[in-house]
């Protein structure tokens, strides 16, 4: 027995260690900068103010957790020089021990997108949105990135003000055209969100709408599931299972929520839900004998917690829950399910979730030269205090602008 209570003879410990070796989760560049709610911002003196500072902070997360080697970037926020600045950003990432991950276009911030982007009734605005995403595909190619992650704020706020079917057609045509710009290694990930910022209808409001548009776009278009983008009580793991069965699940944006898209730290509200999602994925892999091609990404932007500390919390929790799901004996589970042995099948889930995998996780870290306790080690490193001195004046200037 290991000090986690997991029997070495059963193979469970080796299964967990292999799972941890294969598990990577991408952190978002925007999670290290000062962001807030629609009501305002609370400025942190150590927050990143430039792209290189974001990459430096992301590098610290990877250095202490060993599972976050890539950084999702937002084109308008992280490539101020556009395509010409890609090489510099790529080099900066490498210097800080990470690489550029998914590329996120921005077709919701500029004034021209007041009435939407690919669903805008003005063909000139739709063309501009397409051009921007085409630029993002080119940026992805130069940065060595596979995934172009698409979220659209498009919708309408009042009944009768938009032709919903026409907008669907415009989206399908644009995404099909964009799919044709991909190289053989790239993918389009289509995200959905049931509400916000539009109040009446959202053009891509649920997984079914995203799936239909992905099918119409082409074989390298997949659905991106943000765990916060669902109504209360929706069974997200069922959505995951269905998308897996259709070879349509491309990635996740992980966070947690109490009401809706709350951007809460992963596992802070319902860790059992994330465990169940991982369980469905690993069950699929066990049944098919192949690894699911899924990009695990974080989409959190905290206004209150220290930026790097909450990312380390999230990454460590993700590792822990993934390791718990790897404990499941899917052969036994399948046998119980086939006999409708309800208690026995559910107990397999409960036992795996209740197992303390943290000692094995610490063992995994030590074997790879990582600190046993990433959050504690980060705090002891003094990185935050150094950055407060280096970045404090710039961040205090932001505070003044919000006074």
For residue 366, report the phi and psi dihedrals to the nearest 5 degrees.
Answer: -60, -40
351 pLDDT above the threshold of 50: yes
What would the DSSP string read from start to end of 142-154? Answer: HHT--EEEE----
Quick one: average pLDDT of 104-132? Answer: 97
Q: Which two tokens stand for residue 192?
A: 């959905």
pTM: 0.95
- Given a cut of 50, whether residue 111 has pLDDT beyond it is yes
**Beta carbons of 311 and 302 less than 8 angstroms apart:** no
Instruction: Write down all domains in the chain, each with its CATH number in brackets.
Output: 12-401 (3.20.20.150)
Q: Is the pLDDT at 400 greater than 60, yes or no?
A: no
| Mean residue pLDDT across the chain | 94
36 band by pLDDT with thresholds 50, 70 and 90: confident
Reduced to 3 states (helix: H, G, I; strand: E, B; else coil), residue 221 is: strand
Q: How far apart are CA 213 and CA 139, in angstroms?
A: 23
**Is the confidence at residue 338, as pLDDT, over 90?**
yes
**Rounded Cα gap, residues 321 and 228, in angstroms:** 17
Closest to 316 measured CA to CA, from 378, 402, 401? 378
Tokens of 243: 């998308």
What pLDDT sits at residue 81?
A: 85
Residue range 235-251, pLDDT digits in tens: 999 999 999 999 999 99
Confidence of residue 303 (pLDDT cuts 50, 70, 90): confident
Query: What is residue 5's predicted lDDT score, i.e. its pLDDT?
Result: 61
- Residue 194: alpha-carbon gap to chain centroid: 17
pLDDT of residue 261: 83
Element (H, E) at 239: helix 236-245
Q: Is residue 402 a contact partner of residue 43, using CB atoms and an 8 Å limit?
A: yes
Question: pLDDT per residue over 142-180, tens digit each?
Answer: 999 999 999 999 999 999 999 999 999 999 999 999 999
256-266 mean pLDDT: 89
* Chain centroid, CA 64 distance in Å: 19
């Amino acid at each position: 027995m290991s000090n986690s209570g997991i029997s070495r003879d059963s193979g469970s410990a080796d299964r967990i260690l292999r799972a941890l070796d294969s598990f990577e989760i991408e952190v978002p560049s925007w999670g290290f900068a000062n962001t807030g709610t629609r009501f305002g911002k609370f400025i942190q003196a150590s927050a990143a103010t430039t792209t290189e500072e974001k990459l430096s902070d992301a590098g610290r997360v990877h250095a202490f957790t060993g599972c976050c080697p890539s950084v999702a970037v937002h084109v308008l926020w992280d490539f101020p020089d556009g395509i010409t600045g890609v090489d510099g950003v790529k080099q900066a990432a490498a210097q800080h021990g990470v690489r550029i991950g998914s590329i996120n276009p921005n077709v919701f911030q500029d004034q021209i997108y007041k009435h939407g982007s690919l669903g805008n009734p003005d063909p000139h605005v739709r063309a501009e949105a397409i051009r921007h995403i085409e630029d993002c595909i080119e940026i992805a190619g130069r940065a060595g990135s596979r995934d172009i992650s698409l979220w659209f704020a498009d919708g309408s706020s009042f009944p009768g003000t938009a032709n919903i079917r026409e907008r669907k057609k415009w989206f399908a045509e644009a995404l099909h055209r964009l799919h044709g710009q991909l190289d053989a290694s790239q993918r389009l990930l289509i995200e959905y969100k049931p509400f916000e910022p539009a109040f009446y209808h959202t053009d891509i409001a649920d997984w079914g709408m995203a799936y239909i548009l992905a099918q119409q776009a082409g074989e390298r278009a997949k659905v991106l599931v943000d765990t916060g983008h669902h109504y209360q009580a929706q069974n997200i793991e069922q959505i995951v299972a269905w998308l897996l069965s259709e070879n349509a699940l491309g990635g996740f944006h992980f966070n947690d929520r109490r009401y809706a898209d709350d951007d809460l730290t992963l596992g802070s509200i319902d860790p059992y839900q994330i465990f169940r999602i991982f369980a469905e994925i690993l069950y699929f892999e066990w049944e098919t004998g192949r690894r699911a091609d899924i990009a695990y990404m974080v989409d959190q932007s905290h206004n209150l917690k220290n930026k790097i500390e909450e990312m380390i919390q999230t990454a460590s929790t993700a590792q822990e829950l993934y390791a718990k799901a790897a404990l499941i004996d899917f052969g036994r589970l399948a046998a119980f399910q086939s006999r409708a042995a309800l208690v026995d099948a559910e107990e397999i889930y409960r036992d795996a979730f209740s197992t303390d995998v943290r000692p094995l996780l610490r063992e995994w870290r030590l074997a790879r030269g990582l600190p046993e306790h990433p959050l504690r080690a980060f705090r002891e490193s003094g990185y935050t205090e150094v950055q407060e001195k280096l970045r404090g004046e710039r961040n205090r200037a932001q505070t003044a602008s919000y006074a």
